[in-house]
Amino acid sequence: MGLEGKVAVVTGAGRNVGAAIAARMVRDGAKVAVVDLDEARARATVEKINAETPGAAEKFLCDVADKDSVATTMEAIADHFGRIDILVNNVAITDRGATVLDLDEDEWARVLQVTLTSVFLCTKYAGRKMAAGGRGGAVVNIGSTSGYRARPNALAYPAAKAAVINMTRSMAAQLAPHGIRVNSVTPNKVGSPVGHDEEPENRPRKNMLGRGCRPEDIAGAVAYMVSDDAGFVTSTDLVVDGGVLYGVMD
């Protein structure tokens, strides 16, 4: 996708979708900042990438729900690579099983902080670097079909993802004067469930294409959205779900 000379920041890049996006950014020519709270996972992603493309990736440990941690991390990334051109807000956590009648308030707040507020914080501090650089940039926020539909087994996560999708549009309007495009990519049940390292073999899926969504499917969509091929695309949600959301299913 012609990302030579660019620097991409990917949050939650220690596993699953984030790791696939980081690897794809490098294959398309970018350098990548692998941002994660888990040092071992971040190191594993960096080592795998650098084994194929030496020096292309560097790990940065960050709590994306904490403004001081985010501000410090974006400063460190810009100092290390000299610039920031691309931001992929991928990190998320979820709630499972509880309803509005019994979901703990602290869990509600934590899911929104990590899944929603992190998008605001990372875009704020990475966006400042992009704007100051004067070269424009691209931000992609990872949504979810949960942001469009009811979830009987979750409440905070679908609320957060719905907000991410709409916040993307306001960010696009606000950052357009700086030449920064902002879009979202919305998967459905991609790779391992949120918060898990492995995908259950019997994970139920129903879509038009008859297979599960792979992390590489989302990485490819993100690669397009940050490339010059999508240079006139902003404030858009690209749904990559095999036809689940808007398809007609039996």
Token output for 148:
């469009």
Buried b (16+ CB within 10 A) or exposed e, 154-187: bbbbbbbbbbbbebbbebbeebeebebbbbbbbb
- Structure-block tokens of residue 215: 């992390």
Extents of the domains making up the chain? 7-240
pLDDT score of 191 = 63
The tens digit of pLDDT for each residue in 160-180 reads 999 999 999 999 999 999 999
Token pair for 113: 């902080």
Q: Cα torsion at 58, 59, 64, 67 (round to 10°)?
A: -70
* pLDDT means over runs of 10, the chain (250 residues): 93 96 98 97 98 97 98 98 98 94 97 98 98 97 94 95 97 98 94 54 72 93 97 97 74
Catalytic residue ranges: 157
Which residue's entry shows tokens 């990548």? 32
Task: Say if CB 33 and CB 7 are below 8 A apart.
Answer: yes
Is residue 64 helix, strand or coil? Answer: coil
Instruction: Return d(Cα 186, Cα 184) in angstroms, integer.
Output: 6
Q: What is the pLDDT of residue 248?
A: 53
pTM (predicted TM-score): 0.93
Q: Give residue 196's pLDDT.
A: 44
- CATH architecture for the domain at 7-240: 3-Layer(aba) Sandwich (3.40)
Closest CA to 34 of 56, 53, 65, 67: 56
